[in-house]
Amino acid sequence: MAAFLSERRQLILKLVVQEFVETATPVASDTLVRKYGLNFSSATVRNELAALEELGYLTHLHTSAGRVPTDIGYRYFVENLMDRLALSSAEQRMIRHQFYQVRGELDQWLQLAGAVLARTAQNASLVTPPRSDTLRFRSLELIAIHETMALAVLVFHGGTIKQQTLSFDSVRNGEDLRRIAARISDRCQDCTFTQIEELLTQAQTAPLDDFERLLYDLVVRAMRGYADQAAEQFYSDGLIEMLSQPEFIPALVREEDAVRAVERMRRTLELLKNGRALGPLIPQVLASDGVQVIIGGEHGEDAMREYSVVLARYGVDGSVTGVLGVIGPTRMAYPRSISTVRYISSVMSDLMSGLYGAEPRQPEE
């Protein structure tokens, strides 16, 4: 991958990326010299820029425009040139503090993670709920709402909860419900849904009556449904932050792009909403440790060609895992995005450990 680049070319590439990320305008040779006090002239820089362009790291919109990094350029930057700075400890403290304040509510954690990611990276964020690939039943509780209606709460290993209201024909009192729920809870302890299905075929554990059968059905369907809707559900935040990026402000962009900015925006929203932006990447992220960066066209989807995604897994190994990250224009502050994603994922992992019962690991970095 890493074609060899002379020290100077590396420096110049790095500066181009940083400058472009900062200003969002194509960077000119003498801007580099002036702004960073390089001890060689703009003509030299021009030669190097031309070489870097030849090698595929940079492009040119037209003759008299400055240089812009290509996907390959960004990739090289992320891989080799980037300063890997962590979030300041003040920021870390602040973030931790916020999570501490909503102690105990998974939904809120997810939402908060999304909000913090968005704010810190100034881009849109995505957070999938933590999931277990083999969901195991823990217990069922039935809470009477009135005589012929109850709330079924299914608790699974790893803290996943599903709730559903349930109506039935015959009148049942609380004690009755409790007894049946306990029976089912006991029998299905630690089972996957296929195991529960097997159980049902065995004579000695056959359901007592129609009602109990109904409940088993509910459990199996819920667990099966959980497996199906794998990557379809997720939290998203930071639309506004992303849309505040210059890419989406026509006044700052070339005329023609201005007209298409909205079109692009709409398509992006669509991608975000239906999960096509994230879905295909999830297996890849789950299968690997650390932060994954997908830059522009590296993502298969054509509509994603102008966007980058920074993702990380979080959760507890072998139990529940989710994916979180940020998405934004390829012109993204990668160091900041990456360290934010890394940090939040470690915080979330700790929280999940807590939920699942393991001791929290020491916070990373």
Q: Which of residues 218-257 bind DNA (CB under 7 A)?
A: 254-256
Contact partners, residue 94, CB within 8 Å, separation at least 6: none
Report DSSP letters for 47-94, one per residue: HHHHHHHHTTSEEESSTTS-EEE-HHHHHHIIIII---PPPPHHHHHH
The C-alpha atoms of residue 328 and residue 313 are separated, in whole angstroms, by: 18
Out of its own copies, DNA, none, what residue 233 binds, judged by CB under 5 to 8 A for its kind, is none
Least separation in angstroms between residue 60's CB and DNA is 6
Q: Which of residues 64-123 bind DNA (CB under 7 A)?
A: 64-67
Least separation in angstroms between residue 29's CB and DNA is 4
Determine which residue in the list 9, 14, 24, 53 makes contact with DNA, applying CB under 7 A. 53
The tokens for 109 are 């954690």
Question: What are the residues facing 127 on neighbouring strands?
Answer: 235, 324
Q: What is the residue whose two structure tokens read 């890419």?
A: 247
C-alpha to C-alpha distances, 352 to 6, 157, 164, 189, 313, nearest whole angstrom? 45, 12, 24, 21, 12
Nearer to DNA, 66 or 159 (CB): 66
Residues forming contacts to its own copies in the complex (CB under 8 A) are 104-106, 138-139, 141, 143-146, 149, 151, 153, 155, 159, 161, 163-167, 239-240, 243-244, 248-251, 258-259, 261-263, 265-266, 269-270, 273, 354-355, 357
Out of its own copies, DNA, none, what residue 53 binds, judged by CB under 5 to 8 A for its kind, is DNA
Q: Which of residues 133-172 bind DNA (CB under 7 A)?
A: none
Nearer to its own copies, 338 or 355 (CB): 355
Out of DNA, its own copies, none, what residue 146 binds, judged by CB under 5 to 8 A for its kind, is its own copies
Q: 3-class DSSP state for residue 235?
A: strand
**E strand spans, 157-260:** 161-167, 235-237
Least separation in angstroms between residue 230's CB and its own copies is 17
Nearer to its own copies, 69 or 328 (CB): 328
Least separation in angstroms between residue 161's CB and its own copies is 6
The C-alpha atoms of residue 106 and residue 111 are separated, in whole angstroms, by: 9
- Relative to beta strand 137-146, strand 149-156 is antiparallel
Nearer to its own copies, 243 or 333 (CB): 243
Out of its own copies, DNA, none, what residue 325 binds, judged by CB under 5 to 8 A for its kind, is none
Contact between residue 82 and residue 332 where contact means Cβ atoms under 8 Å apart: no
Residues found near DNA in the complex (CB under 7 A): 26-31, 39-44, 46-47, 49-50, 53, 60-67, 254-256
